[in-house]
Amino acid sequence: DGGITQSPKYLFRKEGQNVTLSCEQNLNHDAMYWYRQDPGQGLRLIYYSQIVNDFQKGDIAEGYSVSREKKESFPLTVTSAQKNPTAFYLCASSIRGGNTGELFFGEGSRLTVL
């Protein structure tokens, strides 16, 4: 089945540690996105990539980093510089960039900082 796979589903981290969330898609989509979801705040864009080897900061990129070495993969690293990393993280893809078409989401990764 085509879709987006995020892993791990749940992750616990100690303060000061970096952690990487995986996102893989087999939809052959050009664009991929990372969103952060907090209660009552909707979905906020962290980073997006419209093509391999290129990515741009979203609204809340501070404390996060990404790479796009392969079309299928867009991992997100939550660094120790992120002040409040406990959240639900969603990865998405679309056929092309520009966000005027459907976004396909993964099932999310819940990060808890202890």
| Phi-psi map region of 108: left, alpha, beta (phi>0 left; psi -120 to 50 alpha) | left
* CA 74/CA 92 separation, integer angstroms: 10
Name the residue nearer to another protein (CB basis): 86 or 99.
99
- Taking CB under 8 A as the criterion, the residue among 8, 57, 70, 98 binding another protein is 98
Q: How far is the CB of 75 from another protein (least distance, A)?
A: 17
Contacts of 76 by beta carbon, 8 Å cutoff, 6+ apart: 20, 21, 23, 34, 46, 47, 64, 65, 66, 89, 91
Q: Hey, which residues between 3 and 62 contact another protein (CB under 8 A)?
A: 4, 40-45, 48, 58-59
Name the residue nearer to another protein (CB basis): 13 or 44.
44
The CB density around residue 101, as the number of other CB atoms within 10 Å, is 12
| C-alpha gyration radius of the chain | 13
Q: How far is the CB of 106 from another protein (least distance, A)?
A: 5
Contact stretch for another protein (CB under 8 A) within 12-20, 60-68, 69-77, 95-103? 95-103
Binding site for another protein (CB under 8 A): 4, 40-45, 48, 58-59, 90, 92, 97-100, 102-103, 105-108
